[in-house]
Amino acid sequence: MFSKETYINRRAKLKKLVGNGVILLFGNNGAPANFPHNTYYPFRQDSSFLYYFGQQRDGLVGVIDVDNDIETLVGDDISIDDIVWYGSVDSVHDMAEQVGVKNSVPMKTLKTLCNDAMRLHRKIHFLPPYRADIKIQIFDLLGIHPNQQKESASMDLIKAVVKMRSTKTQEEIDELERAAIIGYKMHTTAMKMCRPGVVEKEIAGALDGIANSMGSMVSFPTILSQHGEIQHGAPSMSKLQAGKLMLCDAGAETMDHYCSDNTRTTPVSGHFDQRQLEIYSIVEAAHDYALSVAKPGVKWWDVHFGVCRLITDRLKEIGLMKGDTEEAVAAGAHAMFMVHGLGHMMGMDVHDMESFDQINVGFDDEVRPNLEQFGTNCLRMGRRLQEGFVVTDEPGIYFIPALIDDWKASGHCKEFINFDKLETYKDFGGIRLEDDLLITKDGCRFIGKDRIPYHPKDVEEFIAQYR
């Protein structure tokens, strides 16, 4: 938790941005794993509730009466039965005091607060809910059916929260740096363990253990697979095979739930063969291109398509693509190989504020998403960069057999893709490189003082130390 003043100042700014009405910020409840009292561990609080109210206990709601400048923490104190099993915790009154909130009331009072606001026809602001229990709670409080709650969520509140959470303060950057330390440990451990015969889940389990032991939890389920062409490839019981590539996309959260998110692709044999090195070098160049051009005022949309043109040019050099580069990118031919966007906002959520919809987070009135074109429709971020933004830089090249077959059968982008040569890459897998960028006053920098090896020579030399 940050200082009391941090939360007081955040709520004061939120009140100014929203302007009027009553703001409801719902904290999360425990989520049952397979029966009510066996919940997923560790408990994960809602990020926006954490941002403004700081407390990590379940069963809390923050209420901000903007018009009357009254802030209230709503929640029930735990019972003696809970204390027996889980130990004592601070009272709701004490938790409110810790973050500078003067008022605290039991949960049953929330219905009265909402009824009073509705009777006076006051605007009630809430964020789009993403958990079923909170949707039911909103239905009970406000009478809005769960199917209508996303559309009924307050756009004024969404815009205010996005404005505040997008730009990271120094104390938040410090937390992100701590997350990067954990991420470095996770990824270098994966590289050390990567060798023929090791089971994918064994490595992924070790990484998850590092995240749990050094912080709160993983920032998303660990992706680790020899099938790097599968975007969210879960680790399996398969053994690593010589000649394959292991793609590892993993990150951690600090105790205050700030994230890291990195991807590395490691040769199982300990060295890249020529074909792997050709593709890897293209991804490496795209990764470093983004680092060289990202700065305040630059549209991330332009950085993304600069990467797409670079990838297209380089794939033309090795005979996998052909034709005019600009025409190929305009047609979306590059998405045969890079099916996703260059990166996304990151902070307390690894896809920061994704529950608000990326159109409200990564785009604005100036830069709108293209939801029609394959590949481009997965670009989560396009708006102009600002100092204090944190975005991921994650280009990749993938060879997806089903996609190759689909496009070849339909003739899609046949004027830009050499399908005959592409057939010989169906067993390749995929390569992605990812790091977290902080946009600075004049440019950008990687988060994390220790760089997880990613240049081919550095990767091979690092692996060699542990063979």
Q: Tell me, what amino acid is at 387?
A: E
pLDDT confidence of 36, banded at 50, 70, 90? confident
Rounded-to-integer distance, Cα 249 and Cα 265, Å: 9
Q: Where in the chain is the domain with CATH 3.90.230.10?
A: 170-465
pLDDT value at position 5? 97
CATH for 4-165 is: 3.40.350.10
pLDDT tens track for 331-377: 999 999 999 999 999 999 999 999 999 899 999 999 999 999 999 99
Percent of the chain with pLDDT over 70: 100
Q: pTM above the 0.85 mark? A: yes
Task: With a cut of 90, say whether residue 52 has pLDDT above it.
Answer: yes
Residues near 267 by beta carbon (within 8 Å), at least 6 away in sequence: 244, 245, 246, 273, 276, 459, 460, 463
Q: Tell me, what amino acid is at 196?
A: P
The mean per-residue pLDDT over the stretch 251-260 comes to 97
pLDDT tens track for 166-212: 999 999 999 999 999 999 999 999 999 999 999 999 999 999 999 99
To the nearest 10 degrees (0 to 180), the angle between helices 456-464 and 170-193 is 60
pLDDT value at position 85? 80
pLDDT value at position 244? 98
Rounded-to-integer distance, Cα 311 and Cα 305, Å: 10
Q: Where in the chain is the domain with CATH 3.40.350.10?
A: 4-165
The mean per-residue pLDDT over the stretch 47-75 comes to 97
pLDDT value at position 87? 86
CATH for 170-465 is: 3.90.230.10
pLDDT confidence of 37, banded at 50, 70, 90? confident
pLDDT value at position 191? 98
Rounded-to-integer distance, Cα 390 and Cα 90, Å: 34
pLDDT confidence of 84, banded at 50, 70, 90? confident
Phi, psi of 58 (to 5 degrees): -80, 165
pLDDT tens track for 286-321: 999 999 999 999 999 999 999 999 999 999 999 999
Phi, psi of 38 (to 5 degrees): -110, 85
The rounded mean pLDDT for the chain is 97
The mean per-residue pLDDT over the stretch 7-12 comes to 98
Task: With a cut of 90, say whether residue 416 has pLDDT above it.
Answer: yes
Phi, psi of 356 (to 5 degrees): -85, -5
Rounded-to-integer distance, Cα 222 and Cα 234, Å: 7
pLDDT value at position 38? 87
pLDDT value at position 287? 98
pLDDT value at position 279? 98
Task: With a cut of 90, say whether residue 81 has pLDDT above it.
Answer: no
What are the tokens at 199?
């089971």
